[in-house]
Amino acid sequence: MNDEIILTPEQVRARSRRNWVIALSIVAFVVLVFFVTMARMSANMHAAHPVAGVAP
Amino acid sequence: MVDVGYTHARPATASDYFALLKPRVMSLVVFTALVGYVCAPGANDPVLGFASILSIAIAAGASGALNMWFDADIDAVMTRTRTRPIPAGRVDREEALMLGLILSGLSVLTMLLAAGTLAAALLAFTIFFYAVVYTMWLKRSTPQNIVIGGLAGALPPAIAWAAKTGSLSIEPLILVAIIFMWTPPHFWALSLWQKNDYAAAKVPMLPVISGAKTTRAHIFAYSLLLAPLGVAPVLTHLGGMIYAAVSIVGGAAFIFLATRVLRSQAGEGGVADKPARELFGFSILYLFALFAALLVDHGLGR
């Protein structure tokens, strides 16, 4: 007996669209973490070494 | 060979999963959080501000997905909710649970990275309060469900404030109190004309347990508390002249519409429900106007 699941063309298209959305979401999350890390590092460096003459 | 075409009405699309996040609720949460962030003292950091508000939005969505996972039996009975992805058969319950848990974790993690411990802890508490305290416990057990549960929807401005400043003060807590006091008259107005649905789903909303007359009185009482509370940000100088005008006029209109509900037969069905529908519609406008006025006052460089 063959238990292989055969998807209809409509189901294949729907799965493909879902996969694209998941992939784009992961890329967006990676980009977000990158920019947040840069922003936090920048803020922390500024706090550790404030510009001379400027109140922290 | 197995044909899986029988399980779903149609294959689930990304929009079905997005619908699990309750985007309309999310939009109000995002707006109040944005105002909380902008009004908090200090310079606005566009990257950290965006990440913080996105975290709050995703957490609200995760809470919605967990709510739809747990309440699928209720949603299948009520007219307003039976077309949601789970009762409509487009998404499995377990998928909603997994989506809710994963997004909860990611949102708290992102908030921790972007804004620190206090905001992340408040965000985690909000998800827990909505998904566990409200959805799993209060909603099915007491007519005070939306009174206490409303805290979850009220917290976003305070979370955003904490995200920007790393602390809390009286100003964001007043904003929380306003949304907290706004929630009961807003949802009780809705439940007046949906009480048969709630009764069929065995949800103990106030009109189902205590009747329409008691509900109308409760709506009026909460409106009397809400209207002056809405003006309170003026006293702490969080709100300026525009906010003062909007909150006084809006509060008076809220009490006027609540008085009409009190004197009506709203909850008895048909045209009698009209005052409740009007108050429900106005309540959304009122809350939006209050926070928009704060945004304008702060946007104008007060």
| CA angle (B68 as vertex; B36, B196 as ends), nearest 5 | 100
Q: Containing H/E element for B253?
A: helix B241-263
Q: What is the pLDDT of residue B48?
A: 96
Pick A4's closest partner by Cβ from B1, B11, B17.
Answer: B1
pLDDT digits (tens, 9 = 90+) for B94-125: 999 999 999 999 999 999 999 999 999 999 99
Neighbour-count burial for B268-300, b at 16+ CB within 10 Å, e otherwise:
eeeeebebbebbbebbeebbebbbbbbbebbee
Cα separation, B106 vs A55, in Å, equals: 36
- On whether the CB atoms of residues B212 and B267 are closer than 8 A, the answer is yes
pLDDT digits (tens, 9 = 90+) for B49-68: 999 999 999 999 999 999 99
- On whether the CB atoms of residues B189 and B261 are closer than 8 A, the answer is yes
Q: What is the pLDDT of residue A46?
A: 81
Contact list in B for residue A6 (CB cut-off 8 A) is 1-3
Of the pLDDT bands very low, low, confident and very high (cuts 50, 70, 90), residue B271 is confident
Contact list in B for residue A7 (CB cut-off 8 A) is 4
Helix, strand, or coil (residue A5): strand
Share of chain B above pLDDT 70, in %: 96
pLDDT digits (tens, 9 = 90+) for A34-56: 999 999 999 888 887 765 545 44
Write down the mean pLDDT value for chain B.
93
Query: What pTM did the predictor assign?
Result: 0.90
B4 has pLDDT over 60: no
Q: Which value does ipTM take for this structure? A: 0.79
Contact list in B for residue A29 (CB cut-off 8 A) is 106, 110
Nearest CA of chain B to the CA of A22: how many Å?
Answer: 9
Read off the pLDDT of each residue in B149-176 and give the average, rounded to a whole number: 97
Q: What is the pLDDT of residue B2?
A: 41
Domain range summary for chain B, segments of one domain joined by +: 15-168, 169-302
- On whether the CB atoms of residues B24 and B89 are closer than 8 A, the answer is no
A2 has pLDDT over 90: no
Nearest CA of chain A to the CA of B85: how many Å?
Answer: 15
A3 has pLDDT over 80: no
B133 has pLDDT over 60: yes
Q: What is the pLDDT of residue A11?
A: 87
Cα separation, A44 vs A39, in Å, equals: 9
Q: What is the pLDDT of residue A56?
A: 47
Class of the domain covering B15-168: mainly alpha
Nearest CA of chain B to the CA of A11: how many Å?
Answer: 6
Q: What is the pLDDT of residue B3?
A: 42
